[in-house]
Amino acid sequence: MRFVLAVSALVLLAQRPAAAAGLTLPGQLAELQIHGFISQGFLLTSANDYLAHSSEGSFEFTEIGLNFTLPATDRLTLGLQIFSHDLGPIGDYRATLDWYSLDYHWRDWLGIRAGRVKLPFGLYNDSSDIDAARTSVLLPQSIYPAQNRDFLLAQTGGEVYGYRDLGAAGGLDYRLYGGTIFLDVKQQPGSPFTVVDLNVPFVAGGRMLWVPPIEGLRLGGSLQFLRLETHLLPASSSSSVAVNIPVMLWVASVEYTVRDLLFAAEYSRWRVRAQSSNPAMFPESLTFSERGYALTSYRVNSWLQAGAYYSVLFPNTNQRGGFAGRQLDAALTLRFDVNAYWLVKVEGHYMHGTAGLSPSLNGNRPLSSLTPDWALFTVKTTAFF
């Protein structure tokens, strides 16, 4: 029923001829801008369940967003976005405040946002929900894993941002942030532990993008620190184990746009340490993961784009051997813009390795027992205004 409603809304939205809705407020207040999007996708894998129960085909791939932005003065902007999604076991169509902020743009080189703010990590993390903004259906999952959306997408706190003109050297775009992440604990079926609580005392980081005087080129780096604190109750014990997980992530990024052709490449390493109050129950560890991709897309004309990328994921650099220690993903996409407010995408992936798969989606089978070479086919349609 929910799927039928979502598709009905999509069709209605797609037929809407106008651009963003505007609502004029009384008095001296500026116009309230209303934008929205709705997406419905389908996932099918030749083997293994990926993101959803995809081996049998899954429509559990839905996103709906509605945002309201009010430029209250020429320096102060208020905004919020309501978001609901479903992707296999995550989302479940719960409506959440995706972001909300008070944005004070004091100077072009210094602004402040307070509230829940999208995390600037890499080139595309803060826009990863926005299907209309890219060619591919799925961003390279090595750096932008959809399964980690709740951890990596937004933080509640504040950020300073700005753009500094460097004259002949181009310009510098920067964002620095600090805050916390509120997580909704969901028990993984088959897990040997029950999560008693889970907190993120802090998340902090920044992104700097240099826009050199070569048109269309962006070079940058992002760094993020966060700490997870959790208490886990083992199935075989009545006392919980305290686990602290400090994490450091960084990514180096390059993007070059020339006319209708786009190249992007990113390389990232994530350092995850697990500190345990009871190493016998929950072992301590230090893990480095390595991630990267190269991507290209080309806009053939006003209604057709083609894209391709190759993405690699090594969740533990000390265990690269064996197909369970890696996931290599070669993807091809065609995007059809039916009109300025409605698009359809078709995408195929050839995957080697199982490191990006979720054991809980695959009957809690070890990753080494899953099919090493498999394919993913996905179709997605999005309407937006």
Binders of other proteins among residues 227 to 286 (CB under 8 A) are 257-260
92 near other proteins, rule: CB under 8 A: no
Q: How far is CA 242 from CA 129, 148, 190, 199, 247, in A?
A: 33, 22, 20, 12, 16
The least distance separating other proteins from the CB of residue 53, rounded to whole angstroms, comes to: 27
23 near other proteins, rule: CB under 8 A: no
Tokens of 379: 């179709």
The least distance separating other proteins from the CB of residue 213, rounded to whole angstroms, comes to: 8
Residue 205 CA from chain centroid, whole number:
16
Tally helices (H) and strands (E) across the chain: 2, 17
For other proteins, the binding residue among 118, 218, 349, 380 (CB under 8 A) is 118
Of 303 and 373, nearer to other proteins (C-beta) is 303
Of 113 and 345, nearer to other proteins (C-beta) is 113
Of 108 and 197, nearer to other proteins (C-beta) is 108
Collapse the DSSP code of 205 into the 3-class scheme (helix H, G, I; strand E, B; otherwise coil) and give the result: strand
Binders of other proteins among residues 348 to 377 (CB under 8 A) are none
338 near other proteins, rule: CB under 8 A: no
- Return the closest-CA partner of residue 61 out of 45, 46, 74: 45
Of 171 and 372, nearer to other proteins (C-beta) is 171
For other proteins, the binding residue among 169, 196, 300, 338 (CB under 8 A) is 300
- Sign for the pseudo-dihedral over CA of 358, 248, 131, 140: negative
The least distance separating other proteins from the CB of residue 195, rounded to whole angstroms, comes to: 29
Please work out the total of residues on this chain that contact other proteins, with binding judged by CB under 8 A: 51
The least distance separating other proteins from the CB of residue 99, rounded to whole angstroms, comes to: 5
Of 3 and 303, nearer to other proteins (C-beta) is 303
The least distance separating other proteins from the CB of residue 79, rounded to whole angstroms, comes to: 5
Number of neighbouring beta carbons within 10 Å of residue 352: 14
DSSP assignment letter at 187:
P
Using the rule CB under 8 A, give the single segment among 43-51, 96-104, 176-184, 313-321 that binds other proteins: 96-104
Residues 123, 264 contacting (CB under 8 angstroms):
yes
345 near other proteins, rule: CB under 8 A: no
Of 23 and 258, nearer to other proteins (C-beta) is 258
- CA dist., res. 309 & res. 298, Å (int): 12
333 near other proteins, rule: CB under 8 A: no
314 near other proteins, rule: CB under 8 A: no
Residues 6+ apart with CB under 8 A from 237: 281
Q: Identify the burial level of 318 via C-beta atoms within 10 angstroms of its C-beta, where 0-12 means exposed, 13-18 middle and 19 or more buried.
A: exposed
- CA dist., res. 266 & res. 258, Å (int): 18
Show the binding pattern over residues 36-75: x = contacts other proteins (CB under 8 A), - = does not. Answer: -x---------------------------x-x-x-x--x-
Strands 171-180 and 154-165: antiparallel
Q: How far is CA 369 from CA 63, 188, 354, 358, in A?
A: 32, 19, 9, 12
- CA dist., res. 193 & res. 316, Å (int): 22
The least distance separating other proteins from the CB of residue 266, rounded to whole angstroms, comes to: 16
136 near other proteins, rule: CB under 8 A: no
**Binding region for other proteins (CB under 8 A):** 19-20, 33, 35, 37, 65, 67, 69, 71, 74, 77, 79, 81, 99-101, 103, 105, 107-108, 113, 117-118, 124, 126-127, 129-130, 132-134, 163, 165, 171, 173, 215-216, 257-260, 299-304, 334, 337, 340, 384
